[in-house]
Copies of this chain bind each other. A is one copy, B any other.
Amino acid sequence: MTAQPDQTGDSNGRIIISVDAMGGDAGPSAVVAGIAKSAEKNPDIGFILHGPEDTLKPLVARRRILEGRVAFRDCSDVVTMDDKPSQVVRHGKKTSMWSTLESVKKGEASGAVSCGNTGALMALSMMRLRKLPGVNRPAIAILWPSLNPQAFNVMLDVGADVRADAKDLLQYALMGASYARNGLELARPRVGLLNVGTEEHKGRTELKEAHTLIAEFADTANFEFVGFVEGSDIPGNAADVIVTDGFTGNVAIKTGEGTASLVGELLKQAFKYSWLSQLASVLAITSLQRLKKRIDPRRVNGGVFLGLNGTVIKSHGGADATGVSAAVKLAFTLAQSGFSEKLAARVASIEELKQDAATVASPESQKQEGR
């Protein structure tokens, strides 16, 4: 494949996704199986695949659907789960992860997908793609099963940075709302700020400041601010976008995942209890599978890095073909909606407004703008 005038498409008008074949727990064969799955469902998608060509070419050759839809970038090195981000940034030039981001940087691809080491992927993404002007801390956003009509909430940050001040939280609100519009097709998403209670006097100082800031920009950025929300609202229906710092977000999603597996494990034990309960479990099996599918993390696989010049999707390290395919689909959807450009424009315009507000607004007028 040669570079085309339209940087995001190949000669067949396909949208090209840059995929790191290495670094996932299941190895390159799961990644190739995943992109084959995506190729089958979606004729408008093409790939640049990064990793050792000797390994990848035979895997791709076995999938007829991928014929003519995959370009290769040969790389000898792999980022492992144990590699420290700082090491990878300094010495990772020959890794498949580095190469994967390079294709987005050069404009050969509209988005990157990697199953590798999260910390290294974020550090490399920040170095190679750079932060959007006006963004202090990029964030990782995920989709979380919820009682919402769209069945998922957006939650950010879930671990890009362990700290966030009030301005960072405002950025997260803007970026999360933009993501919900483009990823979940919500025209006017409801944004909530995670706290220990919904009363306005509760919580840490930076949260009270962020409450004021986010309220102020809600109308301009076209989202509804529902104020403080609690942990129980993450899987609930009070908001579509849950804003928090990376420390709290990371603990919350892992607690949620852990609780879901505890319930699953205990359900299994409960059904093994007696002869009758075993019979019941056989009859209940399709119902349980329906439930499992509804909350299957593989179906919504993909943390999106927000705040960079380009779309990067972090797939789960243990992703199988279904998981990789879901991450690729997300990259495609965001590319198709022009998300990256829209987000950049949104952040830039708010940045201007913030500077204006800082110059001209009196406390009185700020109060009126808020809610």
Contacts and interface: CB of A to CB of B under 8 A. Distances in A.
Nearest to A194: B251
Given A262-B146, A283-B279, A231 B255 contact: yes
A267 interface: yes
**A interface majority secondary structure:** helix
A349 interface: no
Contacts of A203: 162, 247
Nearest to A146: B262
**Chain copies in the assembled complex:** 2
A234 to B, nearest CB: 5
A262 B204 contact: no
Question: Which of A236, A248, A259 has most chain B Cβ within 10 Å?
Answer: A259
Contact of A256 (B196, B250, B256): B256
Given A159-B196, A295-B263, A258 B231 contact: yes
Interface residues of A, number: 58
Nearest to A82: B199
Interface string A233-257: 1111000000010111011111111
A250 B246 CA distance: 16
Question: Which of A84, A273, A284 has most chain B Cβ within 10 Å?
Answer: A284
Interface stretch (A14-22, A44-52, A63-71, A285-293): A285-293
Contacts of A361: none
A232 interface: yes
A61 interface: no
Contacts of A236: 258, 262
Given A196-B250, A276-B286, A287-B273, A263 B266 contact: no
Given A258-B231, A259-B260, A284 B277 contact: yes
A255 B194 CA distance: 11
A235 B247 contact: no
A265 interface: yes
A351 interface: no
A281 interface: yes
A230 B255 CA distance: 8
Contact of A259 (B235, B266, B291): B235
A353 interface: no
Contact of A231 (B145, B244, B250): B250
Contact of A263 (B163, B234, B250, B263): B263
A194 B247 CA distance: 10
A232 B255 contact: yes
Interface string A162-176: 110000000000000
Question: Which of A251, A291, A295 has most chain B Cβ within 10 Å?
Answer: A251
A280 interface: yes
Contacts of A256: 231, 255-256, 258-259
Nearest to A265: B147
Contacts of A267: 287-288, 291
Nearest to A256: B259
Contacts of A250: 196, 230-231
A76 B247 CA distance: 45
13 contacts: A159-B196, A230-B251, A231-B251, A232-B258, A235-B255, A236-B258, A255-B259, A256-B258, A262-B295, A273-B287, A280-B287, A281-B284, A283-B284
Given A270-B290, A277-B286, 14 more contacts: A147-B265, A159-B196, A196-B246, A232-B254, A234-B255, A244-B251, A248-B248, A252-B255, A255-B256, A255-B259, A270-B288, A276-B286, A277-B287, A283-B283
